[in-house]
Chains A and B, each alone.
Chain A
Amino acid sequence: MLNKFIKLLILIGILAISGCKSTTVIDEYRENTSTTIMSEGESIVVLGRRNNSSYETEFDFVECVGRSLDSALNGINVIPEQSFVDSMYPYFETSKAPMDVQNLDRLVQIPEVANKLNDFKVRYFVWIDGFTETTDSTGAISCTVAPTGAGCFGFATWDDEANYEAVIWDFKDLNLSGKISAESSGTSYLPAVIVPIPLLARVQSSACTSMASQIRGFIQ
């Protein structure tokens, strides 16, 4: 019995090491080759695009990219999405937000908007569009609760894919600075012998850190 249990633990360990890996591919496009360096005191705002009816860019992904940038950029302020959208209400609501730099140009003709953006010292807008989805899943786990105890048994596995694109606008020059795309995929496992042990591929997290790292390289 003990021997079997050790074998199972080894199997889970191998799965944890060999599986659960996520692969991330980053692609970058720069509109011009000149370096786009931010000055100290300037701000960057990371926003999610949510006007597609079939999916919604997750708030926590946008927050993750913003947080990763904030911790890595010294002297540069990263404005939290909700705080920015609330302060700029109603101009950055989903149905009213500028879809391209030309629309942003028109928006800054409104004095209240221009003043508020100047207060924020915004230099870059980063618009993130995309989502994470489970593309395939197999296996099954059954759990039982009885007066004598509870337990689960089975094995499940699923594949996750994250696809995101960040479009960067330079507010100072009112032009498109570039685009960064991040594609990440991985397989998670959930073996259960009495207690389910999740071995998760951190697909979204991997896409977040890779994208934040690339944006950092883009603006610093």
Chain B
Amino acid sequence: MSEKAFNLFFCGLMVFVAGCSKTLNLQVESEVPTPLASRLPLSLGVYYNENFLNYVFTEKSEVREDWTIDNRTSRITMFNEILPTMFSSVNKIDSPNISDGNVDIILEPEVLDMQVALPEETHTDMFEAWIKYGIKIYNPGGNLLTEWQLTGYGKTHTAMFKNKESGLNTAITMALRDLGAKIILDFSNVPEVKNWLSTKIDCSEHPGLC
């Protein structure tokens, strides 16, 4: 066998093996655009707990023998990008139970669940991702106002030369964008938050929030 033919055969074999691999180790790289939002005249304390800082999607099953999807950096970047556009100031705090006079409201986000689907699993031509968050909302002092649950969804088409890493990265990026959009636009519509806001801000200046 000539060297050229061997190289061609070897390359084909590698592509075949990579395409059929049951393992996945994905480090999600994504960015959320700077939001166009009006700031609430409130000071926010944000507490990133262990779950939020360290959650990594893992799965060991027959069809997904060794899957790891790490989007820790992406979600922290997303929160750091959107929260300063929602509140007049944002402070990272070490515990939700603080009675700091400089903070009006406290958020503690955590990842409740994450699911992904490949085209061959759903028999569609889509890579899909769902990320479910729970955001605990506290008064200063640590009194829980409510726990708000929301889900971000993202999908992307299959395409030639788009492998599962690339497809899932795009789907997860879309899911994070969706989550960010829901946090920004739906936060003041959470009933408990809406009631609380009416005691904290001048409703004549922010008629849409009260």
Contacts and interface: CB of A to CB of B under 8 A. Distances in A.
A90 B37 contact: yes
Contacts, number: 59
B5 A90 contact: no
Interface in B2-58: 2, 5-6, 8-9, 12, 32-38
Nearest to A93: B181
B153 A95 contact: yes
A16 interface: no
Contact of A147 (B2, B126, B156): B2
Contacts of B156: 56
B182 A89 contact: no
Contacts of B177: 89-90, 93
A109 to B, nearest CB: 8
Contact of B178 (A59, A94, A112): A94
A93 B180 CA distance: 10
B126 A56 contact: yes
B33 A96 contact: no
Interface string B71-88: 000000000000000000
Nearest to A53: B155
A91 interface: yes
B180 to A, nearest CB: 6
Contact of A95 (B2, B6, B178): B178
- In this complex, the interface size class of chain A, counting residues with CB under 8 Å from chain B, is 20 to 34
Interface residues of B, number: 28
A112 to B, nearest CB: 5
B180 A90 contact: yes
Nearest to A91: B36
Interface in A80-120: 86-91, 93-96, 110-113, 116
Nearest to A83: B33
Interface in B136-189: 153, 155-157, 174, 177-178, 180-182, 184-185
Interface in B81-101: none
A145 interface: yes
A113 B177 CA distance: 18
Contacts of B185: 90-91, 96
Nearest first, the 10 A-B pairs at minimum CB distance are A90-B181, A86-B33, A93-B181, A89-B33, A147-B1, A147-B5, A112-B36, A96-B181, A90-B184, A89-B35
9 contacts: A87-B33, A87-B36, A89-B32, A89-B36, A90-B35, A93-B178, A94-B178, A95-B181, A148-B5
Given A56-B157, A90-B184, A147-B9, 8 more contacts: A50-B155, A56-B156, A90-B177, A90-B180, A93-B177, A93-B178, A96-B185, A145-B12
Interface of A: 50, 54, 56, 58-59, 86-91, 93-96, 110-113, 116, 145, 147-148, 150
